[in-house]
A and B are shown apart, each in its own frame.
Chain A
Amino acid sequence: MVTETNNTKYSKSTRELITTTTIAPKKVTLIVMILSVLSILGIIGIVLKILNGFEDKSAWGYYAATISFLLTTAGAAPMVAIAPTIAKADWVRPITRIASLFSVVGIVTAIASIPLIFALPPLIVDETRRRSIWFEATNYSPHVWFALSIFGLTLCGLGLLYSSSIPDLAAMRDHGTGWRKRLGKSLSRGFIGTDRQWKSLKMRIGMMGTFYFLLLMFVNFLFSVDFALSLVAGWKDAIFPMYHAMTSLQSGIAICILTMFFARKYWGMENYIKIPQFWALSKLQLATTVLWFYFFYSAFIVFWYGRSASDQMVINLLIIGPYLPVFLGAFFLEFFVPWWILVWNPVRKSIPALAIVACLVLIGVLLDRIRIFVISWSTYSNEVIHKKFVPEENFPQFMAPSVADIIVFIGLVSLSALIFILSTRILPLVSVWETHQSLLLTKVVKYVRTHVTAIGKPD
């Protein structure tokens, strides 16, 4: 009887995974066509908004919410690869590629944020410097620093994706055909798997991962403060950047879970992405869900007890004000419902249930972003910004998204999805070299009368 040797398992997985870049399931082709059309419409929507000008800040509220949604969702997704890899978790290997592929969406986020940077008011308004974290810095400091940081984040993300894909590009050079073979040859830069190359690769992934995390926190800090908090007079909330970063992690985990679900369904990755990956991510999803409430409550209780005019303004404007239904939607979908679903062990082992929870979380995050950014941009005015707090008569009315806002949102999300799917034509959704690592280091062995999984820990 011929038993499957390691060599056979490795070559089988290599062939299977490389092949996924060449074969496109019918449904995916149709989806790509639809996404392309929607993306073009979205770009047209953005152009129309730019042509309408930047004077009316309230017109940019939903745009800001969209950018925040993309930034927090796709920007945080690579953390699902980075953090467990640094913690040397073995379960993350099949999903690192999915997580790090989201960094290509950073290109969309970075470019789409340019109009918003133009819309952001300068530090000096009506010859008076408004309150900000930039204190006495130059007038366009928020604009410049945010632009630098978001493009830096995108480049770092792409660098991380590239570094972690080099061995797979080498595999494509060796096993691919046509333009993929040529692309693999040029991008793999002579990678042949020497000991030194592997050590250098792992070191680069570790360093870029750490740097990406720090940059992500910095971008979240700048975006949340400059594009929301500092536009509302009297809104002083030190936890808000952390809240924004934490909800970003929450949505990043959710988008990874959803993509893993689709990868199994449409890309045939059932043999690679299995229950242990969903089980591990579901625990993180539960933790971030509960943390949402913790961060929200930590801010709320300080305002509620403070009872000063600005404290009460924050609650009346941002929570129980004109956007109360939106807040309640966010509360239920980001916290209450996912918490009660994820608390049960059997649910956390059910892939469809986790995909549904991920969808709910994503909708909840979107509603939360709408609440924060639409209110901020609608509240801002040159007359009110220097006051100690926003008087109730200046509270904005509820503003539904315009047709342009809806088209822009759908367009940008479609463009992000499109660019992600197109990336899978170059890189397989599951990393080949990490799969080989799993095969090498993980084995089911007999232990007296039972079986256990033996996991090698060379680090």
Chain B
Amino acid sequence: MQQRRKLDQKQINQELLSGNLKTPKWYIPTMIFLGFFVVTGFATILYMFNTGLGVTGLGRPVYWGLFITTFVFWVGISHAGIMISAILRLTQAEWRRPVTRAAELLTVFSLLTALFFPLMHAGRPWRIAYWLLPYDFSRGIWPNIRSPLFWDPIAIGTYLTGSTLFLYVALIPDLAVLRDRTTGWQKVMYTVLALGWRGNPRQWLLQTVAGILLSALMLPIFVSVHSIVSWDFAITPSVEGWHSTIFAPYFVIGAVHSGVSAVVTMMALMRWLWKWNNHIRPEHFDALARLLIVVATAWLGCTFLELIFSVYGREAPEIALREMQIFTWPWNLLFIIFLFTGYIIPVGFWIFKKARNNIVIMFWTSILVNVGMWLERFLIVVPGLARKQPFTFTWEAYTPSLVEWYIMIWSFAWVSFLMLLFARFFPLIPLFETKESQVFTSETKIGRATVPVIYREDD
């Protein structure tokens, strides 16, 4: 599948730095458009802080609604980075090269955005300080180590720190290229960030070792983060549909599914916006789609296990919940949409090679997957809560308010805004990885056939 393009380093620099050395025409209008939603979104959040959580649709018994759904969604998206970057780096898959940095970037910004949600969900987030940060003296209460709500920020903070550092370390050689190509304040900025990188064998060896070592360290963190988020729900026996042992791997595999799909969306946009046809090619989409088929099928298997074991115990409340979720309006419609968009339609397309190599189809199916995955989280969080206390005097169906919807839209605009801001100053496709592939790949003739070759050093 690897079609080799012979590109010299100067050409690679020109093509991949085109967005950094000069502002593309579409850039400013897009940033203004996104900036509008970002600013008005922040204003909405401030309005909510000022007025109170009553402006949302949250209430007894559904205290966790759109915000927590979107929180879990963004943590899920963040799993793209490590899946693509770490796992494919450790398995030495050549086709990962154009997308590693964009995936890691998506991880960093989606985690940052995810962290916002539990903070704003508190209603008065400044009061979280004494609950989260381990400083003494405040009423003799220390943060509760036994609470998964305490584990969440620790895990997400660890993952965020690790991903940011990983991103930075891999960026250093490219910062040196930018240092060599710019003037003025930009040159100063890149010089400081590049730390004096020269590109001698020692530095390159350490880059390679760093990539492998950090990948190996980040992988266990990646598995643990979404597992810990899943335990926010799974360890609670009081909400039907939550107390299931499969939540940890179920959430992780779902996160990989939605994260990798988000990377596909991003790759299509990168190819179209920056005209990187030489670097992001149909075979990358083909490889990702084949990976997604495996991941999506594993995810479907976990969904099946979760459903079957929820009714296995034959407990009336649990069965009633599932009946509501699958057969009662409007949950039944959401359930069908979730199944079709999360698996049936995308995988139905991806099993055909023509569809996998068609970038437009890949773009739209990857978006469908994320619609489905958002719905999955919604269907996990809300229905169980809606039925939490069977004899409660207030038992209202939850309807998200406009404020909640707008803040959700803000989160998408915010992540896109941050990504584009980064892309203006730093290359989205790693230059040194692209150049490295030119050195470590070649072609050979076997009979009349030209066969791509990769060079591997002895361990």
Contacting pair A302 B451 (CB below 8 A): no
The distance from the CB of A231 to the nearest CB of chain B, in whole angstroms, is 13
Contacting pair B446 A452 (CB below 8 A): no
Contacting pair B306 A238 (CB below 8 A): yes
With a cutoff of 8 Å between Cβ atoms, the chain A residues found around residue B244 in the complex are 238, 302
**Which of B234, B246, B446, B455 lies in contact with A242, CB distance below 8 A?**
B246
Q: Which residues of A contact B (CB under 8 A)?
A: 87, 89, 131-133, 135, 217, 221, 236-242, 276, 279, 283, 290, 294-295, 298-299, 301-303, 305-308, 311, 349, 440-441, 445, 447, 452-459
In the complex, whether B160 has a CB less than 8 A from a CB of chain A is no
In the complex, whether B26 has a CB less than 8 A from a CB of chain A is no
In the complex, whether B249 has a CB less than 8 A from a CB of chain A is yes
Identify the closest chain B residue to A276 (Cβ).
B459
Contacting pair B458 A454 (CB below 8 A): no
Q: Which residues of B contact A (CB under 8 A)?
A: 1-2, 90-91, 220, 223, 227, 231, 234-237, 243-249, 301-302, 305-306, 308-314, 442, 444, 446, 449, 451-459
With a cutoff of 8 Å between Cβ atoms, the chain B residues found around residue A457 in the complex are 2, 451-454
Identify the closest chain A residue to B450 (Cβ).
A458
Known A237-B245, A457-B452; 4 more pairs at CB < 8 Å:
A237-B309, A305-B236, A453-B456, A453-B458
The distance from the CB of A403 to the nearest CB of chain B, in whole angstroms, is 37
With a cutoff of 8 Å between Cβ atoms, the chain B residues found around residue A135 in the complex are 311
Identify the closest chain B residue to A291 (Cβ).
B223
The distance from the CB of A88 to the nearest CB of chain B, in whole angstroms, is 9
B interface SS class: mixed
Bound form: Cα–Cα A418–B245 in Å: 40
With a cutoff of 8 Å between Cβ atoms, the chain B residues found around residue A131 in the complex are 312-314
Identify the closest chain A residue to B294 (Cβ).
A86
Contacting pair B227 A452 (CB below 8 A): no
The distance from the CB of B162 to the nearest CB of chain A, in whole angstroms, is 17
With a cutoff of 8 Å between Cβ atoms, the chain A residues found around residue B237 in the complex are 305-308, 311
Contacting pair A239 B91 (CB below 8 A): no
Contacting pair A452 B455 (CB below 8 A): yes
Identify the closest chain A residue to B307 (Cβ).
A238
With a cutoff of 8 Å between Cβ atoms, the chain A residues found around residue B2 in the complex are 457
The distance from the CB of A16 to the nearest CB of chain B, in whole angstroms, is 24
Once A295-B249, A301-B231, A306-B243 are accepted as A-B contacts, the answer to whether A447 and B451 lie under 8 Å apart by CB is no
Contacting pair A239 B451 (CB below 8 A): no
Contacting pair A236 B455 (CB below 8 A): no
Q: Which 8 A-B pairs have the closest CB atoms?
A: A305-B235, A238-B246, A238-B309, A298-B248, A239-B245, A299-B245, A452-B455, A306-B237
With a cutoff of 8 Å between Cβ atoms, the chain B residues found around residue A298 in the complex are 227, 245-249
Bound form: Cα–Cα A241–B304 in Å: 12
With a cutoff of 8 Å between Cβ atoms, the chain A residues found around residue B312 in the complex are 131-133, 236
Bound form: Cα–Cα A237–B246 in Å: 8
Identify the closest chain B residue to A287 (Cβ).
B219
Identify the closest chain A residue to B458 (Cβ).
A453
A-B contact pairs, 23 of them (CB 8 A): A131-B313, A131-B314, A133-B308, A133-B309, A221-B305, A236-B313, A239-B249, A242-B246, A242-B302, A298-B248, A302-B234, A349-B459, A440-B446, A452-B457, A454-B454, A455-B454, A455-B455, A456-B444, A456-B452, A457-B453, A458-B446, A458-B449, A458-B451
With a cutoff of 8 Å between Cβ atoms, the chain A residues found around residue B305 in the complex are 221, 238-239, 241-242
**Which of B235, B301, B442, B446 lies in contact with A301, CB distance below 8 A?**
B235
Identify the closest chain B residue to A286 (Cβ).
B216
Contacting pair B442 A454 (CB below 8 A): yes
With a cutoff of 8 Å between Cβ atoms, the chain B residues found around residue A441 in the complex are 451
Identify the closest chain A residue to B452 (Cβ).
A457
Identify the closest chain A residue to B444 (Cβ).
A456
Bound form: Cα–Cα A283–B451 in Å: 29
The distance from the CB of B310 to the nearest CB of chain A, in whole angstroms, is 8
The distance from the CB of B364 to the nearest CB of chain A, in whole angstroms, is 26
